[in-house]
């Protein structure tokens, strides 16, 4: 059977262009004017764009694609789909329509492999009650798959990077470690059974909105999904947009069973280093060893949501999510500070 991870140099969200390089590229481009109906664009590194239709309804628009992060074609399609849909959930919305982005080396890859990728994707879309309405495909040197997604959200209930408030509690809904463990999969350090926990997590939809009451949803002030820039990168982006700092309690971080071992074994990606470079001036660690620090720079694929919520509602939200999102935990709090940092204790 073909091992998809052996057909590419980089996999999943670890294949992202490094944040500092991307920032430099974007700074040199003159973009078109922003329409007045655009409520959220890319300036604060939000997960998706918001286009207002009315005072009650807005469109959520996003896209995401990457190269294989696991060996199973079916699982790859499912993970890529859950990862793309996550951007809509991170804005408090519901995905509705999807368009596929597919590149495949047709001279060296059997059509049956592509069918499995699309079936994995379709099954996750069905769970999300979203429709595949088309897409575009090209013949390319390496397999790449993802989606452009359109969703809907209540205009008055949008989540963004910019709403975290001092004294909020910080909740993370999935364990950390997909980057290092998937690097280990590529090196054949872990077999299918070893990686089952992390593969199931990456295929899990981030549809937390479906499990919360109206009161709980209102208690969420800011949200983002933790993907290729790691907890450090995405946490910093949220703190910066909200003009606050975060205090993280290291012992509260949810981790996969293999995360520490995989990091200790040296299963790393280039993104570990680029994420460190991106956030090094904004991270303050207290008494953590080198392996523990690497957790914060680990590039997640289809990672969990980082939520900034009213402290009084935090325990209630964790209880509501615990069954369907094992590992959900309160990992810290928001603090008021002029310069934005992530403090880790």
**Residue positions annotated with a catalytic role:** 13
Distance CA 218, CA 87 (A): 19
**Furthest-apart CA atoms within the chain: distance in Å:** 58
Q: CB of 82 within 8 A of CB of 205? A: yes
Burial of 222 (0-12, 13-18, 19+ CB in 10 A): buried
Burial of 289 (0-12, 13-18, 19+ CB in 10 A): exposed
Distance CA 143, CA 96 (A): 25
Could you give the C-alpha distances from 16 to 129, 198, 269, in angstroms and in order? 28, 20, 11
Q: Which of 310, 304, 306, 307 is nearest to 324 (CA)?
A: 304
Q: Which of 165, 167, 197, 169 is nearest to 181 (CA)?
A: 197
| Terminal Cα-to-Cα distance of the chain (whole angstroms) | 45
Distance CA 217, CA 83 (A): 21
């Amino acid at each position: 059977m073909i091992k998809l991870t052996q057909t590419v140099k980089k996999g999943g969200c670890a294949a992202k262009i490094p944040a500092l390089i991307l920032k430099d590229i974007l700074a040199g481009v003159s973009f078109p004017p922003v329409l007045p109906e655009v409520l959220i664009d890319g300036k604060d590194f939000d997960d998706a764009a918001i286009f207002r239709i009315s005072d009650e309804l807005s469109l959520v628009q996003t896209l995401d694609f990457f190269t294989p992060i696991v060996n199973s074609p079916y699982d790859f399609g499912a993970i890529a789909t859950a990862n793309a849909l996550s951007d809509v959930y991170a804005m408090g919305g519901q995905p509705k329509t999807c368009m596929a982005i597919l590149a495949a080396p047709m001279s060296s890859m059997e059509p049956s492999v592509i069918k499995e990728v699309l079936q994995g994707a379709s099954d996750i879309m069905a769970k999300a009650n979203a429709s595949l309405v088309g897409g575009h495909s090209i013949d390319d040197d390496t397999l790449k798959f993802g989606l452009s997604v359109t969703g809907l959200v209540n205009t008055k209930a949008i989540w963004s990077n910019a709403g975290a408030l001092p004294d909020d509690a910080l909740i993370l809904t999935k364990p950390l470690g997909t980057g290092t463990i998937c690097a280990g999969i590529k090196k054949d350090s872990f077999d299918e059974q070893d990686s089952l926990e992390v593969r199931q997590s990456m295929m899990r939809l981030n549809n937390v909105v479906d499990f919360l009451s109206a009161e709980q949803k209102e208690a969420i002030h800011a949200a983002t999904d933790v993907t290729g820039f790691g907890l450090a990168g995405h946490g910093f982006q949220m703190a910066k947009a909200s003009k606050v700092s975060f205090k993280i309690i290291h012992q509260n971080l949810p981790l996969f069973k293999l995360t520490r071992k995989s990091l200790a074994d040296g299963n790393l990606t280039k993104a570990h280093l680029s994420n460190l470079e991106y956030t090094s001036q904004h991270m303050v660690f207290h008494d953590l060893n080198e392996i523990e620090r690497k957790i914060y720079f680990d590039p997640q694929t289809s990672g969990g949501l980082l939520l900034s919520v009213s402290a009084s509602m935090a325990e209630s939200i964790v209880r509501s999510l615990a069954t369907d999102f094992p590992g959900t935990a309160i990992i810290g709090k928001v603090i008021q500070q002029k310069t934005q940092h992530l403090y880790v204790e």
